[in-house]
Amino acid sequence: MSTQIYYLSGTGNSLHVARELEKRLSETELIPIIKVLKNDRIETKAEIIGLVFPIHNLTVPVLVKRFLLKADLRSSKYIFAIATRFCSDAVFSIIDEILKKQGKLLDAYFSVEMPCTYIPIFTLPSQSEVERMENELQKRLDEIQIIVENKRIDREKDSPLVFVLGHILYPMITAYMFKFRFPGMARSFYVDSRCNGCGLCEKVCLSERIRMKNGKPEWSTDIDCVYCFACLHYCPVEAVQIEGRKTTIKGRYHHSEVKAIDIARQKQ
Ligand SMILES: Cc1cc2nc3c(=O)[nH]c(=O)nc-3n(C[C@H](O)[C@H](O)[C@H](O)COP(=O)(O)O)c2cc1C
């Protein structure tokens, strides 16, 4: 039974989940979404198709939507999705809406709790919290393995409260943020005096909008930001900042088992 897992990952959480599933499922191939998006056509070949991705601004990342609009998933027998943050089933309904055009729906979907990398608003978890999440994750992935191997339908519905948040309030916040807050944020990246010009930010930038100029990174305003935050979190000296978002005092996080090179490789 062959499986292809398509993943998107800015700070390693989703790649870690994809790798852990690869260990658990037989004949599994991991494919970066960024890489296949460069192809004119995306034709999936496996019986089981998995998607693993972060939540961006309470919804499915733009690149995942773009992938779903381009990929031909008609030959698959089973499709599952994993979001690497807790989210409402409204997020998976967005995927269903796109899949419906190919006569498909998600057979199973899951959201797992991993450290939140959105430091403009949230504070990073402590090391013990990170360890607790990892322990819970491992147990959950064992369950997911059984569900996927047996091609079980598993589409858990929201509780009434999460339903109201996820289907009514969050879409309004998402629309507001994408229209008014995110475009400004994309123009507000800069480096402070700690920058040593190593160029790692350019290598990990999934948007390919960073260019080194005179030993310092510059973020192009002509290329859209995909908001992966890889530049921010992988900078070895924590020099990358977002203006006005107190990122100088927020610390940095990336999954301990995912190196900058693994993030950069998604583009190759
Ligand atoms: C731009 C951005 C927006 C995010 N928005 C949310 C959000 O709305 N809700 C949430 O729970 N986590 C949010 N996150 C956190 C990520 O979904 C989470 O940390 C995820 O596990 C990161 O996966 P990755 O390391 O594979 O990129 C956001 C992260 C980024 C960078």
Q: How confident is the model over 210-251, as pLDDT tens digits?
A: 999 999 999 999 999 999 999 999 999 999 999 999 999 999
Q: 115 with 125: CB under 8 angstroms?
A: yes
Q: Residue 170 phi/psi, 5° resolution?
A: -60, -40
Query: What are the tokens at 188?
Result: 């507000």
Q: 38 with 11: CB under 8 angstroms?
A: no
Other beta carbons within 10 angstroms of residue 256's beta carbon come to: 11
**Burial (CB count <10 Å: 0-12, 13-18, 19+), residue 91:** buried
Confidence label for 139 from pLDDT (cuts 50, 70 and 90): very high
* Each residue's pLDDT tens digit, 25-61: 999 999 999 999 999 999 998 999 999 999 999 999 9
User: Which segments of 84-223 are extended strands (E)?
Assistant: 108-111, 154-155, 189-191, 210-213, 216-219
Mutate to test the pocket of ligand 1, among 85, 121, 178, 233 (most ligand atoms within 8 A of CB): 85
Q: Does 259 have pLDDT greater than 90?
A: yes
- Is residue 13 lining ligand 1, measured as CB closer than 6 Å? yes
Specify the residue for token string 């490789």: 265
Query: What are the tokens at 31?
Result: 């494919």
Task: Kindly report whether the global pTM for this prediction surpasses the value 0.75.
Answer: yes
- Is residue 266 lining ligand 1, measured as CB closer than 6 Å? no
Task: Provide the mean pLDDT of the chain.
Answer: 97
Sign of the Cα pseudo-torsion (83, 85, 86, 90, in order) = negative
Other beta carbons within 10 angstroms of residue 39's beta carbon come to: 10
For domain 187-267, give the CATH number: 3.30.70.20
Bridge-based pairing of strands 210-213 and 216-219 is antiparallel
**Class of 3-161 in CATH:** alpha beta
3-state DSSP call for residue 264?
helix
Bridge-based pairing of strands 48-53 and 3-7 is parallel
Distance CA 60, CA 128 (A): 28
Sign of the Cα pseudo-torsion (31, 37, 39, 43, in order) = positive
Confidence label for 112 from pLDDT (cuts 50, 70 and 90): very high
- Mean pLDDT, rounded, for 4-20: 98
- Is residue 58 lining ligand 1, measured as CB closer than 6 Å? yes
Distance CA 115, CA 132 (A): 10
- Measured from the Cα of 174, ligand 1's closest atom is 8
- Is residue 118 lining ligand 1, measured as CB closer than 6 Å? yes
From the CA of 117, how far away is ligand 1's center (Å)? 5
- Is residue 178 lining ligand 1, measured as CB closer than 6 Å? no
Q: What's the pLDDT score for residue 1?
A: 76
Ordered by start, the domain boundaries in the chain are 3-161, 187-267
- Mean pLDDT, rounded, for 11-29: 98
Q: 111 with 14: CB under 8 angstroms?
A: no
Q: Residue 34 phi/psi, 5° resolution?
A: -55, -40
